[in-house]
């Protein structure tokens, strides 16, 4: 998928309307993590460097359900962005309306206007055409740099693109390039590490990647559904009984296509699902009755490491254990170390996987750490995301 970017369009002297993802954690008016704001800086600075251009930014924050709510205001974001840019960021009282249009018209070259939360209007998530047109009136060119919202056909992510020349920002372009590369032309051996709690949330990704990968490494609670299908004892581990046939079908397809499917061969287990539970090591595949599989064991990690380090292309989505409990985080963290040691193209998506590489300070050694969350998952499923589809092709 080849989409035009901000480098393919003349921005000089233009009012640029840019959709960004400033959905950051805010408590008591303070931003807990400004990663998403920093991620947009390359695009923002590039636009402002174009002679005579000015910038109008729009984003959502939280889930205000179509009503103005002070706790979901983007005002703290405006203050933080101003600090990062070293210039004033004007905060609009709303995202549409006569006063906002007046502010947009009055912008001079180099000025930045941040619109208030677009989800203060129910028309945003409904992708109301008239609301999209009102947003579009504020600018002359539309730039979408919010990949994390590209899987939603909302007014600010899809609707506006029907009214203005629409191109991708640098962050959006990077996500398309890396995730698209994984799907379109992966260098072999191609290894996919898929973890998480449920097979049901990863079926589409597994099926999409099955025709492309050399090896699947399956971890997390979803592994126990596959192990049960193969006749192993899984104790009291989480199993999706209604998906046993689906897991069996995936195993059969992998076998027929010569895809190596690697499941845990040893485990860390507990007697209860709790952050206070003590880890017990089980040195074999079968889990004793009453015990809950919580993480992969050292033999599994050692085997996985060899496969991971040898990969030419690697994608990782989802933790290999109950990552939020420190006693059972080792599998995910050791996997992060192995991925960082891989010399091939490495792409990571999913909150816990991303958190693991950041916790170890390993994100700089990964080719691409996706900020997309649900959007990256849907992209890997092979879906065409509406926010990307709406952008101009090259």
pLDDT tens for the chain, residues 1 to 394: 689 999 999 999 999 999 999 999 998 889 998 989 999 999 999 999 999 999 999 999 999 999 999 999 999 999 999 999 999 999 999 999 999 999 999 999 999 999 999 999 999 999 999 999 999 999 999 999 999 999 999 999 999 999 999 999 999 999 999 998 888 889 999 999 999 888 898 999 999 999 899 999 999 999 999 999 999 999 999 999 999 999 999 999 999 999 999 999 999 999 999 999 999 999 999 999 999 999 999 999 999 999 999 999 999 999 999 988 999 999 999 999 999 999 999 999 877 788 888 888 888 899 999 888 888 888 988 888 999 999 999 9
Domains defined along the chain, listed by start? 6-171 (3.40.50.1260), 179-380 (3.40.50.1260)
The dihedral over CA atoms of 354, 356, 361, 364, expressed in degrees to the nearest 10, equals: -30
Euclidean distance between CA atoms 23 and 17, whole angstroms: 18
Helix (H, G, I), strand (E, B) or coil at 228: helix
- Do the Cβ atoms of 239 and 224 come closer than 8 Å? yes
Q: Which of 282, 284, 274, 344 is nearest to 314 (CA)?
A: 344
What beta strand segments (E) does the chain contain? 15-19, 26-27, 30-31, 54-58, 89-91, 112-114, 141-144, 166-168, 190-194, 215-218, 260-262, 267-270, 280-282, 292-296, 313-317, 345-349, 368-369
pLDDT recorded at residue 115: 98
Residues facing 316 on adjacent strands: 193, 348
Euclidean distance between CA atoms 142 and 186, whole angstroms: 31
Euclidean distance between CA atoms 174 and 298, whole angstroms: 35
Give the Å distances, CA to CA, from 361 to 66, 132, 356, 366.
Answer: 38, 40, 9, 10
Q: Which of 365, 261, 229 is nearest to 309 (CA)?
A: 365
pLDDT recorded at residue 1: 64
pLDDT recorded at residue 360: 84
Pairing of strands 166-168, 190-194: unpaired
Tokens representing residue 237 in the block: 């581990």
Tokens representing residue 227 in the block: 């192990």
- Do the Cβ atoms of 118 and 22 come closer than 8 Å? no
Residues serving a catalytic function are: 36, 198, 351, 374
Euclidean distance between CA atoms 235 and 328, whole angstroms: 17
pLDDT recorded at residue 251: 95
Cα angle, residue 66 at apex, residues 65 and 72 outer, rounded to 5°: 70
């Amino acid at each position: 998928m080849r989409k035009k970017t901000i480098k393919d369009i003349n921005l000089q002297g233009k009012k640029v309307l840019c959709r960004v993802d400033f959905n950051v954690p805010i408590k008591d008016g303070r931003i807990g993590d400004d990663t998403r704001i920093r991620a947009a800086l390359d695009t923002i600075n590039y636009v402002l460097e174009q002679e005579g251009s000015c910038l109008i930014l729009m984003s959502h924050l939280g889930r205000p359900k179509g009503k103005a709510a002070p706790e979901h205001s983007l005002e703290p974001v405006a203050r933080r962005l101003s600090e990062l840019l070293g210039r004033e960021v004007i905060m609009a009282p709303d995202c549409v309306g006569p006063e906002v249009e007046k502010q947009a018209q009055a912008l001079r070259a180099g000025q930045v206007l941040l619109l208030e939360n677009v989800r203060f209007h129910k028309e945003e998530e409904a992708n109301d055409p008239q609301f999209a047109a009102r947003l579009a009136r504020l600018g002359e060119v539309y730039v979408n740099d919010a990949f994390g919202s590209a899987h939603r056909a909302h007014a600010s992510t899809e609707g506006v693109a029907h009214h203005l020349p629409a191109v991708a920002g640098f962050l959006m372009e990077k996500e398309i390039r890396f995730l698209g590369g994984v799907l379109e032309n992966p260098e072999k051996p191609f290894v996919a590490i898929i973890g998480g709690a449920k097979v049901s949330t990863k079926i589409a990704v597994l099926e999409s990647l099955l025709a492309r990968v050399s090896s699947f490494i399956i971890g997390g609670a979803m592994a126990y559904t596959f192990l049960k299908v193969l006749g192993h004892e899984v104790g009291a581990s989480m199993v999706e009984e209604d998906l046993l046939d689906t897991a069996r079908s995936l195993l059969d397809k992998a076998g027929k296509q010569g895809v190596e499917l690697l499941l845990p061969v040893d485990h860390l287990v507990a007697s209860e699902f709790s952050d206070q539970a003590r880890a017990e090591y089980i040195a074999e595949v079968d889990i004793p009755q009453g015990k809950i599989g919580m993480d992969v064991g050292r033999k599994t990690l050692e085997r996985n490491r060899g496969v991971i380090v040898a990969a030419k292309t690697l994608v990782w989505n989802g933790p290999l254990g109950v990552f939020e409990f420190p006693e059972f985080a080792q599998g995910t963290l050791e996997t992060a170390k192995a991925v960082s040691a891989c010399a091939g193209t490495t792409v990571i998506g999913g909150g816990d996987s991303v958190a693991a590489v950041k916790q170890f300070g390993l994100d700089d050694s990964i080719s691409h750490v996706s900020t997309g969350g649900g959007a990256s998952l849907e992209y890997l499923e092979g879906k065409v995301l509406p926010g990307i589809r709406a952008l101009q092709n090259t």
